[in-house]
Amino acid sequence: MRKLLILLLAVISLNVTAQKDSVLLRLNPQRGSEYLQTMKMEVNTPDIKMANTITMKSKVIDVQNDKVMLENHTKRIIFDTEMMDRKIYYDSDVPKENMDKTAQEIDKNMRELKDMVIVTTLNRQGKILNIKGVTEQYKQMFKDNQYSIEFPKKAVRVGSTWSDTSVQMKVQTMTLQLNNQYTVKDITDKTVVLTLKTNGAIDMSEKTEDEDAKMGFKVKGEMIIDRKTGQLMNSEIVSTMKMMEQDIKTKTTITTQNL
């Protein structure tokens, strides 16, 4: 009888531990909550130096049983690039009259993005269902965003892995294909840490038969998810692509600030 009781207690303990160490990842924001998300992309090679930043403000405008709606505004865009002894700097916060000619040309295109009020509808797993208020070109960019995570259907624990559907994004004559694999690295009371591995390919061969127009790349990094809301809080991703016989590494960091 004593052995049976000990066994029963052990089973209960294991079940409780399993429940504690597993989490069902879902979007659970509060209606009306706001946050700033800043994405910075950096390249540093002997020939190319780049530090581009985009900051977006998002507000949760509706929360239903099966979906979430966000209103997004681009707050600031910075391009800081140096290539082949040519430096390009653009900051959307700088008055147009204080920009050089190159920055003013960039501003013509960026103003369109800054003026957009983008409404995004997602399901609770993070899949983008609809995007309004944006042109077709930008709609594709937002919909196939590599850093938008679609959570798995089942609860996960440390060591769990899943892959999302391959992303295909076509911009003019270029096709981008991605296959993302996520692994749960750590779970705490407040966060879930994911590692990301991506095999990707860029195909620019639609109008040429040159094999060099097809390039592969790999991505590795970590993402920190808020366990309660499902919000991406921080991430650091490094992509590596071979170009002109050298490895070009792009470091992308994302930080989210609750307002």
pLDDT of residue 11: 44
For residue range 188-216, list pLDDT tens digits in order.
Answer: 999 999 999 988 777 766 555 555 556 77
Question: CA 27, CA 24: separation in Å to the nearest integer?
Answer: 10
> What residues does each domain of the chain span?
23-258
Please name the residues in contact with 257: beta carbons below 8 A apart, sequence gap of 6 or more. Answer: 35, 36, 37, 38
Residue 115 has what pLDDT?
86
What per-residue confidence (pLDDT) applies to 202?
Answer: 73
CA distance 6 to 12: 10
Question: Sign of torsion, CA 123 151 187 196?
Answer: negative
Residue 247 in tokens? 């490895």
pLDDT of residue 3: 43
The whole-number pLDDT of residue 7 equals: 45
Count of CB atoms within 10 A of residue 60's CB?
Answer: 19
Which residues of the chain are under the pLDDT cut of 50? 1-19
What fold does the segment set 23-258 form as a domain? Answer: Lipovitellin-phosvitin complex; beta-sheet shell regions (2.30.230)
Nearest by Cα to 249 from 234, 235, 238: 238
Q: What is the pLDDT of residues 141-194, one digit of tens each?
A: 666 555 578 899 999 999 999 987 655 566 556 677 778 899 999 999 999 999
Residue 258 CB partners (closer than 8 Å, separation 6+)? 33, 34, 35
